[in-house]
A and B are shown apart, each in its own frame.
Chain A
Amino acid sequence: MAKYSTNEFKAGLKIMMDQDPCAIIENEFIKPGKGQAFSRVRIRNLKTGRVIERTFKSGESVEGADVIDMEMQYLYNDGEFWHFMVPDTFEQYQADSNAVADAVKWLKDQDICTMILWNDAPLSVTPPNFVELAIAETDPGLKGDTSGGGGKPATLETGAVVRVPLFVQIGEMIRVDTRTGEYVSRVKE
């Protein structure tokens, strides 16, 4: 893998740090007028999600990480692995529960997700920003209440629990923002 000098550091660059693949969030060039130059870098560990701060001597090099983002279609779960496919090539990948992590509660077959691959193996999965899922379980609401005030918990077909307005009923499809876990609207079929 290529090496990157601190001069090439910028947000989004993927590098290896403490044996883990990481993404640079921010790089600040620090240099006293008459002194040593440093790069002060905020880095996200792509495995753990943790953000750390590190300092390099300006001009120092670090190894790049073979990390790429790829759009993939979610296919199915076999009980142990979650299977995805690259739509253009039909190439398939299986992700374990570490890689799928919290995305699991939004995964619906055929949805297009973003997969991060490290050395061609799934590292993490990001669901689409908006998903459309059916309500599996919720208390019956009051007819005629369209205010949306208050709301009630609803369990979706994937197991996710979101707050929905009182008028939403079992079996209906709703649109949810996966970044916030919030209900957006009902979906007319």
Chain B
Amino acid sequence: MVEDWKPACDLKQMRLRAQMLKSIRGFFEQKSVLEVETPLLCAATGTDPQLDFFSSFYHCAPENKAMYLQTSPEFAMKRLLAAGSGSIFQICKAFRNGEVGRLHNPEFSILEWYRVDFTLDQLMDEVLELIAELLGTGLKDSHKVSYVDVFKEATGLNPLVFCQTSYAEYAVNNNIKDAVSLCGNDHSMWLDFIFSYKVQPTLERHFVAMVYGYPAIQSSLARINPDDSAVADRFEVFIKGLEIGNGFFELSDANEQEKRFDQENQCRQQKGLVIVQKDEKFLQALHAGLPDCSGIAIGLDRLLMVLSNAQSLNDVIAFPFERA
């Protein structure tokens, strides 16, 4: 009989978490990056069709309005940046509906930070610096590789040029034939499938792997590379093959941002998902002017998991979803 009132994780993990949070705050204090707080309960949310959010209602007659638990603090933090905050960081909770598994909990801890005037490369270096600091032993094995190179090396396929026949042929010959019917002619879904099953496992041999230059169709909130419009200025951090964080050279063009919102809403409509109101305050902030900056969000529960060699988020979260 499982005693549900008890924490799922070892008490030792709570001390490790407290130590990690302290080290992170020390790291940013030293670099004069300001710690900030933004609302978890927001009037607007993201349009990303891959992110399902939690909706709630504010009741106080005559007002009765929908509110959303944030899927990430990105929009609010960019409003601070546009207001002249300078470099900032935040440690907070984020919520994603429907995501439960060994590596997913619908409520999780995020470390998100933005560095004004940092290039993406500078930010990648700072991420390595932070990981080294948290390890305490320094970082021996880190590897930076472009998305195109790591994809080609693992599969022989070009991720930037979609050829359904060669992708399908690869899938059939490599034991992932379900991809053929699932992904059809959806280039982005093909990339997600093949990357998750065939590319990501090859990153396990590096303690830290940084994959940069994601295909432009997976730009999310990153700027398109000014010299190569086929790729976005976006990178991901993997520790022992586990996805830990997502970094962008931030898109600051308000019109381009609004266009992406519209495209994502169109995609939502096609999938039969609810249409999301665009976050107007965020768009206004971009119109006012977002400084050139790079930013990243890191999943702290997963980070704690890899740093302590745990196998599941349940091993590092006191009260995961099943016990919340």
User: Which residues of A are at the interface with B, using a C-beta cutoff of 8 A?
Assistant: 7, 28-38, 40, 54-59
Contacts and interface: CB of A to CB of B under 8 A. Distances in A.
B174 to A, nearest CB: 13
Contacts, number: 61
A17 to B, nearest CB: 11
Contacts of A37: 50, 98-99
Q: Give the interface centre of B48, B176, B182 by most chain A CB atoms within 10 Å.
A: B182
Contact of A34 (B100, B179, B189, B218): B218
Given A29-B104, A54-B178, A35 B98 contact: no
A34 B74 CA distance: 14
Contacts of B245: 33
B182 A57 contact: yes
A36 B193 contact: yes
Contact of A38 (B98, B193, B218, B246): B193
Task: Report the interface size class on chain B.
Answer: 20 to 34
Interface string B210-251: 000000001010000000000000001000000101100000
B188 interface: yes
B192 A36 contact: yes
Interface in B57-100: 98-100
Contacts of A31: 50, 99, 104
A35 B236 CA distance: 12
Nearest 5 interchain pairs by C-beta: A29-B101, A35-B192, A55-B178, A36-B192, A34-B220
A8 to B, nearest CB: 12
B98 A7 contact: yes
Given A37-B50, A56-B182, A58-B98, 17 more contacts: A28-B101, A28-B102, A29-B99, A29-B101, A31-B104, A32-B192, A33-B243, A33-B245, A34-B220, A34-B246, A35-B188, A36-B188, A36-B193, A37-B99, A54-B178, A55-B193, A56-B178
A37 to B, nearest CB: 7
Given A32-B196, A36-B193, A55 B182 contact: yes
Contacts of B195: 32, 35
30 contacts: A7-B98, A29-B100, A29-B103, A29-B104, A30-B101, A32-B195, A33-B245, A34-B50, A34-B220, A35-B189, A35-B191, A35-B192, A35-B195, A35-B196, A35-B218, A36-B50, A36-B188, A36-B192, A37-B98, A37-B99, A38-B192, A38-B193, A38-B196, A55-B176, A55-B178, A55-B179, A55-B182, A55-B197, A56-B182, A59-B98
